[in-house]
Chain A
Amino acid sequence: MTTSPSTEAPTAAAPALEVAGLTVTFPGTGRRAVGAVVALQEVDLEVAVGEFVAVVGPSGCGKSTLLRVLAGLTPPGATVTGRSTGTACGRSAAWMPQRDGLLPWRRALPNALVGARIAGMDRAVADARARALFDEFGLAGFERAWPHELSGGMRQRLALLRTCLPGRPILLLDEPFGALDAITRRRMNAWLAGLDLAGRGRAVVLVTHDVDEALLLADRVVVLSDRPGRVVLDLRVPRDGTAGARRALLEALDPAGEAR
């Protein structure tokens, strides 16, 4: 799939990515498989082109594992069964780790170009696009900064820029602002919501444990249960007022109602 983001209208029907019956098992150690863990069980997920889907769930429910499998990063030793299309066909997805993954020996601009280089983009094109995105991401003027000279919020934005730059049709974001303090995080989310990532003919999957973040950013929210992770709710976020959706999500996340 070649993307020319300005002209190409998203083909509504075709899912950008689809997994069915995805089960991920960590076999445990020793002959008796001590500590064997089923991380994900029979997970179905379909994301359409132009759709922003958030996956929420309690800690350890396997949502990061789900994203890794989608990115083609099967965790070592894990057994993966099920059917997946979209991401599996090689290099259509770009994954952003929880920690920013910036290379300390590259300045900000070269760090942003890592994804483009892997995608085999033309240098001049990538460079021009990166400079434009530096503006858009509020990083203008920091092109020559070393990663350790940047604040946490800037590092995450740079990592996101690196992920967006190659123009891959699927973006996989693993708690992109999870490590930030609450205020910076809220600011980043507001900014991200205005960025309209999925509107550029792309599909976005965002993993988070924050219901409000999911509601703010996503068109659809998928709730995973406690381990083993199963899909317990798949909710389209209504355009007018999210109070009802919020209640439904919290209920799905905490069925026993202990937290309420």
Chain B
Amino acid sequence: MLVRHRWRRVVAPAAAGLVLLVGWEVGVRLSDLPAFVLPPPSQVARTAVEVAPLLGTDVATTLTEAGLGLVVGAVVGLLLAVLIAAFPWVSDTLYPLVTLTQTVPTVVLAPLLILWAGFGLLPKIVLVALTAFFPVLVAAVTAMATVDAEHSEMVAGLGGTRRHQFWLVQLPASVPGALGGLRVAATYAIGAAVVAEYLAGQSGLGVFVQRSRKGYEVDQILVAVALVAVLTGLLFLLVDGLARLATPWQRPSLPSRPGRTPL
């Protein structure tokens, strides 16, 4: 049973990926496609090794933008959520507007941000933050609005005021939700940074992609694409790990086994 489970989860997708790569390699070689349209994976791998030493600064730039943007977005999202939970009038006036802003995909705003904030790190950080704050905000607001009545009644029954409700129940109850939103946001962050870099900038993976495109170096673009995927995965794992550290009371979401609770 367990062996079959592991086989399905790891071996099967790996094998499928390998088949795809081999198919791509064979297909490109047989069809004589020029390398500036679609290079074979072997060439992409060779290019990756070649350009790897040059990519350090670009990766650092993109990671800085994504990381700072994510932090700013998370802080802003959580603060807004707190205001919305604490003051009904903030909720009434602000929440619909905030939701409305999400009807504009944030990357559409990138040119404006560059006009306003220049070519440096700032517009990229702002763009990543704009993309990241919303999932955090929604998840935190939902968590605070659906606080367990058992907990809020306990606090009230001990004479707790609204202030106690907020600090003892609502705010801590929102943390797992906000972290869930942050996990979602982490998957967008690198992509948002790269798109912002497409438009302007001195370094970053997006700049590298644009430069490669102008030289018809499709292999380099593919290297960058693979790198974005890997970095996004790593960032997700990092945020996931931090989230676990920050919520040590949460039980691992395994199916409950009998006999685990002490009596």
Contacts and interface: CB of A to CB of B under 8 A. Distances in A.
Interface size class on chain B is: 20 to 34
Contacts of A117: 164, 168
A-B complex: 10 closest residue pairs judged by Cβ atoms? A95-B157, A101-B154, A91-B159, A151-B263, A115-B158, A118-B160, A105-B172, A71-B157, A118-B158, A105-B249
Contacts of B173: 105
B231 interface: no
B153 to A, nearest CB: 6
A151 B251 CA distance: 15
Contact of A118 (B159, B248, B249): B159
A97 B149 CA distance: 11
A96 interface: yes
26 contacts: A71-B157, A72-B159, A73-B157, A91-B159, A93-B159, A94-B157, A95-B157, A96-B157, A97-B150, A97-B153, A97-B157, A101-B150, A101-B151, A103-B151, A103-B169, A103-B172, A105-B172, A105-B175, A114-B158, A115-B158, A117-B164, A118-B168, A148-B261, A149-B261, A150-B262, A168-B159
Nearest to B157: A95
Band of interface residues on A: 35 or more
A119 interface: yes
A255 interface: no
Interface in B211-263: 247-251, 261-263
Interface of B: 150-151, 153-160, 164, 168-169, 172-173, 175, 247-251, 261-263
B153 A114 contact: no
A163 B159 contact: no
B168 to A, nearest CB: 6
A114 B169 CA distance: 10
A117 B247 CA distance: 22
Interface in A110-148: 114-115, 117-119, 146-148
Contact of A149 (B169, B175, B262): B262
Interface of A: 68, 71-73, 90-91, 93-97, 99, 101, 103-106, 114-115, 117-119, 146-153, 162-163, 166, 168, 172
Given A119-B158, A172-B157, A146 B249 contact: yes
A162 to B, nearest CB: 8
B172 to A, nearest CB: 5
A94 B154 CA distance: 9
A90 B159 contact: yes
Contacts of B156: 71-73
Contacts of B250: 104
Contacts of B248: 146
Given A103-B168, A151-B263, A73 B159 contact: no
Nearest to B262: A151
Contacts of A95: 157-158
B168 A114 contact: yes
B175 A152 contact: no
